[in-house]
Structure 1
Amino acid sequence: MPDDRSVEMQNSQTGVINTGDNATIHYHAPPSNPIPILDTPANPQASKLFIGRKDELAQLKTALDKQQPVAVTAVLEGMAGVGKSYLIDHFALTTECNYQILSLNPFSTETQENLIGRLAERLRVTPHIAEVKAHLKATNTLLHLENIDSTEMAQVAMGLVQQLQGCRLVLSGRLHELGRGQQFAQIKLNPFDLNDGIEQLKEELAWLKAPILPDDALKKVVEAVGGLPLAIHLAAGYLATGSYTVTDFLTELHNSQLKLASENYSDMGGRNANHCTLHAAFSVSLQVFARQQPEHVNAICALGCSHAREIGFSLACALLNLSPETAKSVLRQASKLGLLMASVPQPDIQKMRWQLHPLIAEFFRVQLTELQAIEQRLSNWFMQRLPNPDTEEGYQAWLELNSEQAALRTWLERVPLEQGEAIVQTVGLYADLNGPWTNWRQLCEKCLASPRSDAARSDVLWIACRCSARLGDLDLAYQFAERKAQLDQQSGNEREYALARGQIADILQARGELAEALRILQKELIPVFERLGDVRSRAVCFGRIADILYRRGELAEALRIRQEEQMPVYERLGDVRERAVTLGKIADILEARGELAEALRIRQEEEMPVYERLGDVRSRAVTLGKIADILEARGELAEALRIRQEEMPVYERLGDVRSRAVTLGKIADILEARGELAEALRIRQEEQMPVYERLGDVRERAVTLGKIADILQACGELAEALRIRQEEQMPVYERLGDVRSRAVCFGRIADILQARGELAEALRIRQEEEMPVYERLGDVRSRAVTLGKIADILQARGELAEALRILQEELIPVFERLGDVRSRAVTLGYIADILQARGELAEALRIRQEEMPVYERLGDVRSRAVCFGRIADILYRRGELAEALRIRQEEQMPVYERLGDVRSRAVCFGRIADILYRRGELAEALRILQKELIPVFERLGDVRSRAVTLGKIADILEARGELAEALRIRQEEEMPVYERLGDVRERAVCFGKIADILQARGELAEALRIRQEEEMPVYERLGDVRERAVCFGKIADILQARGELAEALRIRQEEMPVYERLGDVRNLLITQAQTAVLFMQLTPPRRAEANQLLCLALQSARKMQIPEAGLIEEWLQHFGMDC
């Protein structure tokens, strides 16, 4: 076995797994297939040339209608050559559905397990029936099981149908009464009647640009071949040569029929005139070919030994055993006669692919006398292309092999056991990187069942392990790796033992068991490579260790390893590519730490020039994408978008549909960040999602669904976002056994619940479903991030003291230990938020001023602008409106305009309107909301932000005394949005605003009802003690206005301890002042208590430096009191 397996999982190309939480887990992955692997394609002519069959097509459409609540299996039964597969191909190619064909192979032992394995591999899902079934349903895939021509094949097919109930299936075969007795749509396909047969012959002759023949002559041909479409197709090829007449065809057909009758041709054991006619048509066409190219008759028949529905030029040349020029002539002639069909017409014949009807292939094989020599040529062709490529010709060989997967699969199934070991020794990395993994694993299992040397058995176990891992069967992969490790340890082969243990570490890492994976790499593999003096493998292993540390958030140690253990090795070895890749990994770490400027410098000045010098266009494009990531993180969205649009054409030129889809997703990210949600959503749904569905990539489809949910959440469509998370995304991760992604998805669900105000359930999910996973995985960063989310919920519930403790004692130390300056700065910002909520404005402002230089040092213009906005918030609270306005207009707004961030610009405008509102400039504030904000949110399709802005407009109208219009907006425009979005919290807040208006209008009874029946129960159900207390205060206001002073006072006194417990100084001082005023309204007034409360409130207000201090001083003066 080649030695390059030691670096197999550390290939110079890298990949990323998007975890859905704005983090990426970097892993070393093999290069993606150079071209899509081709396997059992539909007949492309079926979409263009279609005659008759209107009734049968209608039956098929009815049976397979995707609108039906339950999918119905359709069964097409018909004799050979009647056009069963052609009809289904036509339906699939002209219907909006994905299409997969499974051809049952009469030359191998088909089982349900084999079919599921083949289908799973094609769909790129794990080979479990539940996963296959879920994918077929989710991607609206039509599955065609063809060649069900025997009782044995029917039993296998029916077993698979039972397992795939509810999927869109169609079966076809020659077996009489196929599927009879089942709840299937039975469709019988008969030969064409005379009119349809003549129409087909006319169309075929026109296609071949042959002279027009009279209908009488065409009628004789159709009658002679019994209306069989395949025979009519061959007759057209015969007549289109221009050398023969209809009479010639009829004579030759008759003579061939007589000959075949004497040889007793049968169909499924019984004499059948149509079957005899079909073979006679084959014979006539082959005779014409023999007259034109007599020396190549055996050559053309050899194509039947490919056992594939379609083959390319290179494999065809090998089977023909002819030079390329001669092969071109042979293939062209056979195609003109209808014996072959060019399935992908190209100007260059060497790029064309050729379809061979299974019946013609069978007929060809019957003519052959040198089968062994042909089979040897087929084996040689495969064996020559399996070794690892180290030249351009080698990569071209893999390209050719990838295009012949159907033939490769059949070859692997039929290969004699004695050749198995030689194949395994030759295969190198091809089996691992390209598959077909099910067949390679089956070959390995056959080889393991027979005696062989320990070294050979070790190699076979390695391939079996890798193929099992590729199929997603990690348990079986682990078993194969364990067997290999035990065998290599017994035989004293340290290197092979290390490889096996490294594979086990990879499997553990994939399962999320990072601690044990790290132990194996550090304690078992590194010592082996050091003993062997293998510096490259040691460096590669250190890279894998750094990957795990990166994943766990241990950035400082990951960086040290990259710089001290890996980089010097590649420099000493003169390996410029691996040095560049390692530099890229260092940039990843710096980016994660927030050191964006240095990460950008490395990408632009050290990594990119290497790929340009090497002429590596793909790696250059990938690096461009990484540069765009950094610019996006810095908020430079316009430039990031420009780079993405420069990156896209590279993947299009390379035919790399997956990377193109990933880049589309990145463009959608930028548009989303800019607030262009409608276009971002369109890209996700119409351009990105279909690619992953077509590729069968269930993981990336799930990740993209999560991104769609993010956009819907940003638009305020919380109910639909929650449904996607719970019903479409979560089940995928559970089926895949991906505990990390499942935890991340739970976190996203908690985000939605928090946005809806369901704080108790959001907190439960964080603490019980998400946090334990990260603790078990040893992922300190994700644990810290989740703790931050828990602090958010506690802050929303008003539990400010506990939220502050978590941030200061649990988060800050983690980020300091990890050397993550950005996350530390962001956490400082969260601390400032809590201090601001508690009324400690001076300390909050000091922290913001400590936070700001970090973003300036990192070159993060967006975060700097956001931080300025937070400072403006504090100044607004302190009443320093002029400075707050200056910051919004001069420091924040120009940044968003320069970045092209329309959403953030609109939000900033909204904050400016708030300041103008407070300054009494109501007309200008109203203009901004109506002219600058509403049109933006309407254009972006952001219904929630539009509703919130309408609420602000209602606030201004209420302040202007236009209560009726304000009430109308609340009830008719704002409230229905929150109800439609399922946002119970915002609905309750809106009810509170409606109650404010009713109270201002003097409708106290209705205002009180709303507070008590519509608003208060929501906050109690959500566990939101702060909002409950605020609502109590509003109820006290109404009772006070109604003269129910005793009850109002009771509520005020019950309200104050809540704010004390929450550490909410501002709401506490306001309630103290309100209670003091209430004391003075009592008879007799409780003057001493009122004075005490006003003085406490004044002291707090002065300490906070907020405008309320002036109002309290006025009350003291009014009541003749002092402090």
Structure 2
Amino acid sequence: MDNQEALQRTLTRARRALQIIEEEKASYGIRIPPDLVIELEEKQKEVTSLEARLSQLQGQRPASVPNNLPRYNDVFVGRKEEIARCMDALSPEERGWGVAIDGIGGMGKTALALEVAHLARKQALFDAYLFVSAKTTWLSTEGVRPETLALSSLDSFCREFAKGLGQADIVKMTDATERRRALLDALRGRRTLLIWDNLETLNAEERDMIAEFVRKLPTPNKAIITSRRRTGESAVTIRLDHLLEAEALELMREKGKSHPRLDQELNATKPEILTALYQASGGNPLALDWTLGQVAHKGYSISVALERLRDAAKSEDLYGFLFADAAKTLSEKDRTVLSALVVFLTPAKTAALVDATDIVITEIQVSLERLVTLSLVNDLDGERFGLHPLTRTYIRAAVGGTDTVLTAPLSGIRFNSAAQRKVLRYWVDFAQKYGGDDKDAYKTYDKLETEWQNLEGVATTLREMAGIPGALKDRQAAQMLIDLENALYNFLFFRGYWDERVRLGEWCYHAGKALGQWSDAGWGAYHVAWIYYNRADTDWAVRWATQMTEAMERGGSRLDKAVAIGLQGQIAEQRQDWAEAERLHQEELAIYRELGEEQREAIALNDLGAVAQEQGHYDRAESYYKQALAIEEKLGNKANQATYCGCLGNLALNRDRPTETRPWYERELALAQEVGRQDLVADAQAGLARVLEKEGRYAGALPLAQSALDIQERLRDQNLDFSRRLVERLQRKVGME
């Protein structure tokens, strides 16, 4: 009612002003000044406009309110913030000509424009609502279909707008320039909302002419433009991004209400599969709708439809609709930049792209600007650039970095596989620069941590390119995968990426076998076996230790074979076969001493100490541990020093020597935290908790034990059950205090 009253007051003032102008006109007789004639016409239009808007608010349907808005019967969810921004842009207080909505295809730009237009109509913000579209195709579950009514020029848009306003004389004009001027004149004094849809299909000249037209749009008329190309001078610009996951799930549920089979599938599908569908679609409404349509109309399960979405070759209608037209306009540099960006799983800075591609920064910047304009690349805070998941899937297929084989309409659009390979090499070099197992390598592990998502993506891409396990397809990719794993295995162990170390170790093993590089294969198997050993998963440790031994026998050095012997000894230890463990560790120790491998000698001494301790030979165990520690102190390896300090702490605790125990655990903890070795941090914390427990300081012991348990649960460490019992015991004791 407040809106009606305000509009009524505005109308009353406008009618009074119109009456004054009409009286002034009458006073001139037949020689009326041209300016007064124009003022009178504009005021008459304003009064008509206000009357029409007031009729809208009063629930009437006046014939004087032109409206050709399409009926939008599809599901619309979310976008509350975007709607609010659009409505602000259409308000009289906003001085720009309106709002430009851009973004990747399928994000719902047209749907948002129509939602805003219908909302504006409910609020009677305008006296006319006119929609025209340059859309040339539309996507159905059966494929891409042509749109026969698409407009292709500013002049055709002006004809449709004039027709919608009932301006037959303007429609009949033969001169396009005169038509534009006449339409602008006809809009003076009115309040009309013009919606220009899908302008990316027009050529650059037509888009520029439309931009000039809307800049001249007389107030208080407004426009909404939708395009995959960034535009919008003198307007509020909204780059439409992905739906939030909750909104996407709501969209799925709403779609299910109209399709019983889809609803049944949605209810039977695990939540994690629906989340995976959301992630694969990147929250793109069209991709979600297309995928759900495969379920509703073609009988696929959601899991099968999801796999089709992830495979550009099986979803070429979708990917062609989204990307083919834009891809055809790209320069060679643009394609190189996209081929590079597909390797970056996190947004890339310009400097990183320069380093990865060897293209000069000015050319990179020009390409990025064009790619952002085409909505193929997102420009993010901090001058970073990233790809939408659907864009990534398409480009990876176009580059040829997957098993996907593209056909029309995408097969003729090829990207730069050499550029992709160069960026993959960039990341392998990055891992080698900041990784490795040198005693001071831990100091640069933070750089690997920061880029882990990219490095993990590179490993996956290299495995796919190499074709392993299976027939080798790309020797260079297989070698890069081995190089990457060799650079990362120590970092992965230190920082607690144990599952990832298993996966990369397996890939390294298969790549080494495929290349006939048996030492590489053996080390990959060792890195896998070592995690299973540390998780006390003895059967799997045996399986991989056997594969390591076989590989080293076929192509390993004497040192490689000694490491395999040591691993067999540790597994014998885990099986409590003390005699066999002793024999194997003595054998490896002799080889290391013969080869002058001091660090390996310390490892063998530590292994022998563990065997002695388990058999109750504490003095002998202490001697072995201290010999190992002395070697590492000389070599300066802090990670191994932490290991041996922990062993000496455990030994002192077993011997019930608490005054000796605490310093060893404190030293272990300090060293482990310095180098970032997560399993040793947990070991030291659990050890200190046991010392405090013996002292009756249960409240102080519990947080340490709980912290150790948290780490070990994440790692699935072999000491997990022990720490869990320690925490439970301390919780009971704290509760009794």
The structure where helix makes up a greater share of residues is 1
